[in-house]
Amino acid sequence: MGSPFGNIEVRGAANQGWARVDNAVSPIKEDKVIMKDATKRSILRSIHIFFSIPIFGYIYSPFEEISKYAGRVRFVIVPVMLLSGFWMWKGHVLRRLISKRSA
């Protein structure tokens, strides 16, 4: 005999987080994963490395040429490097604080 609520089937670990009710799939969890954490870390590392390259040029270039791109390095490159570094280091704390406020 069937259930009065229809056929309910919850799959194993391969489909964790999804339930099948009468051939309709509905999410059990409300949060949607847009991007995996490993992908986010990879993108953040790439940004951090990409923006560190001009700093080597700033340090090792001749003194006469530093003034040509000193403003970009000071006001764009270094802040992006600091923010991406802090996000990689303590981003989990900030995400935890944000999730507690929204709840």
Q: Provide the pLDDT for residue 42.
A: 93
Return d(Cα 91, Cα 86) in angstroms, integer: 7
pTM exceeds 0.75 for this model: no
**Which of 45, 47, 37, 54 is closest to 80 using CA atoms?**
47
How much of the chain, in percent, has pLDDT values that exceed 70? Answer: 69
**Which of 15, 24, 80 is closest to 54 using CA atoms?**
80
Mean pLDDT of the 9-18 span: 50
pLDDT per position as a tens digit, 51-89: 899 888 888 888 888 888 888 889 999 999 999 999 899
Q: Provide the pLDDT for residue 22.
A: 52
